[in-house]
């Protein structure tokens, strides 16, 4: 019967409790990351502050032959540098820099206030019309035309290639680095701007149709996700109750099960995190004919800290939850040594109360009343035992 109970409890823990615990640990960790103000609000603002300098660095290194061996891509950046306006100055003239530093950053501030509970939950709108207007502005169009104008003249073959590529969705750097004429240039630039901005919505609304929450959204969702941990905990405890035959065994079964689930989740998230870092180093455009692989690698290099920050913010809460679960499981397992106590005697063996105490000579210990009777005063006033008194009586009789 005991073996059957252990098998049943083990199966409940292995096939029901541990898989649910593993999934809940991931769900709680990802939920904490998704509603974290550090990831949703603070990190985007840091990226916004660094965007102008990142663009400047990419433009500078793309002109260098050591960083960019592709002649066509390097020729486009060389032509852009000859226009006489820096990328940061262009962004400011377009109004793009003002939109990034003020409107967009301010909206992320509002999101952070809502997540931290500093502001009442309500609809927050990201206005992207200014972004679309910046790219459709005459300032940006004139800049692009000047860039094309700095390129050398196209030959017949290159002009034909320009004409065939207008209808397709090609990247600008895949076009021949030459000047096809003002009419073709304007047509290509207009087509690419419309194709780029058509995919951008005018506005994005978040926290819509939300009711008033007394606490912050972040705290409410975190508390709700922590409540999910009760489900696998109850299942594991049920399996431990069925399998255990004593209190020590119960703590041992439940503790080892929770510890195993926590460690499995911890090892998995650490492996996934390293896999994500390795994936960031790959070049997904290596087999693409419409994008410069070196330009992609250059952008990845300049934005490596952003990718690292995002991955850390996503996986750190999962690591923390898995670590706490593992510690709780270890503590419960250690309680099994405290709750172990003395083993029960086998059936038929006398208990400790039933075993009589013995003196140093292995004899049965006598009661105190019997011990008092053994000691009596001798004729000279000394205390003597019965064994000492016996021979003395015999000697007195012989003398008489």
Per-residue pLDDT reduced to its tens digit, 106-128: 999 999 998 888 888 888 999 99
DSSP-assigned letter for residue 366? P
- pLDDT at position 317: 95
pLDDT tens track, the chain, 400 positions: 889 999 999 999 999 999 999 999 999 999 999 989 999 999 999 999 999 999 999 999 998 888 888 888 899 999 999 998 999 999 999 999 999 999 999 999 999 998 888 888 888 999 999 999 999 999 999 999 999 999 999 998 888 888 777 666 566 667 889 998 888 888 888 888 888 888 899 999 988 776 655 566 777 888 888 999 999 999 999 999 999 989 999 999 999 999 999 999 999 999 999 999 888 767 555 445 545 568 888 888 899 999 999 999 999 999 999 999 999 999 999 999 998 755 545 455 555 555 555 444 444 555 545 544 444 545 555 545 444 445 554 444 444 4
pLDDT value, residue 283: 57
Cα(343)–Cα(73) distance, rounded to whole angstroms? Answer: 80
First to last CA, the chain: 80
| 23 closest CA partner among 222, 223, 229 | 229
Residue 200: CB partners within 8 Å, gap ≥ 6? Answer: 128, 131, 132
- H/E stretch holding 257 reads helix 247-280
Domain limits, the chain: 2-128+201-338, 368-399
For position 114, what pLDDT does the model report? Answer: 87
Length of the chain: 400
Q: What would the DSSP string read from start to end of 116-178? A: TTSS----EEEE-HHHHHHHTSHHHHHHHHHHHHTSPBP-HHHHHHHHHHHSS---GGGS-SS
Exposure string for 11-25, b = 16+ CB within 10 A, e = fewer: ebbeeebbebbbebb
Instruction: Identify the pLDDT of residue 360.
Output: 47
pTM of the model: 0.76
| DSSP class per residue in 330-359 | HHHHHHHHHS--SPPPPTTS--TTTSPPB-
Q: How many CB atoms lie within 10 A of CB 372?
A: 9
């Amino acid at each position: 019967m005991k073996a059957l109970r252990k098998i049943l409890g083990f199966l409940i823990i292995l096939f029901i409790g541990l898989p649910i615990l593993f999934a809940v640990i991931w769900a709680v960790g990802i939920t904490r990351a998704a509603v974290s103000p550090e990831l949703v609000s603070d990190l985007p603002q840091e990226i916004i502050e660094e965007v102008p300098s990142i663009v400047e660095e990419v433009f500078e290194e793309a002109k260098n032959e050591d960083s960019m061996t592709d002649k066509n891509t390097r020729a486009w950046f060389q032509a852009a540098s000859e226009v006489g306006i820096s990328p940061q100055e262009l962004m400011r003239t377009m109004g793009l820099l003002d939109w990034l530093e003020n409107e967009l950053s301010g909206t992320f501030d509002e999101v952070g206030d809502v997540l931290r509970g500093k502001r009442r939950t309500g609809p927050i709108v990201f206005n992207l019309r200014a972004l679309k207007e910046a790219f459709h502005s005459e300032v940006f169009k004139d800049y692009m035309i000047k860039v094309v104008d700095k390129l050398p003249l196209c030959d017949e073959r290159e002009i034909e290639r320009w004409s065939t590529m207008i209808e397709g969705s090609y990247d600008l750097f895949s076009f021949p680095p030459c000047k096809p004429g003002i009419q073709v240039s304007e047509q290509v630039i207009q087509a690419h701007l419309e194709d780029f901005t058509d995919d951008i919505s005018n506005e994005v609304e978040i926290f819509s149709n939300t009711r008033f929450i007394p606490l912050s959204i972040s705290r409410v969702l975190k508390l709700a996700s922590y409540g999910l941990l009760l489900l696998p905990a109850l299942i594991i405890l049920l399996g431990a109750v069925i399998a255990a035959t004593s209190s020590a065994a119960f703590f041992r079964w439940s503790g080892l099960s929770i510890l195993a689930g926590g460690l499995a989740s911890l090892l998995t998230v650490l492996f996934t995190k390293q896999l994500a870092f390795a994936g960031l180093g790959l070049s997904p455009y290596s087999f693409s004919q419409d994008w410069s692989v070196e330009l992609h690698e250059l952008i990845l290099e300049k934005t490596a800290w952003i990718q690292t920050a995002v991955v850390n913010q996503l996986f750190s809460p999962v690591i923390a939850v898995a670590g706490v679960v593992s510690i709780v499981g270890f503590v419960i397992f250690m309680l099994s040594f405290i709750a172990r106590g003395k083993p029960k005697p086998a059936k038929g063996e006398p208990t400790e109360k039933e075993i009589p105490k013995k003196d140093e000579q292995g004899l049965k210990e006598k009661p105190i009343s019997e011990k008092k009777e053994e000691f009596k005063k001798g004729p000279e006033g000394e205390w003597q035992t019965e064994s000492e008194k016996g021979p003395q009586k015999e000697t007195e009789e012989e003398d008489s």
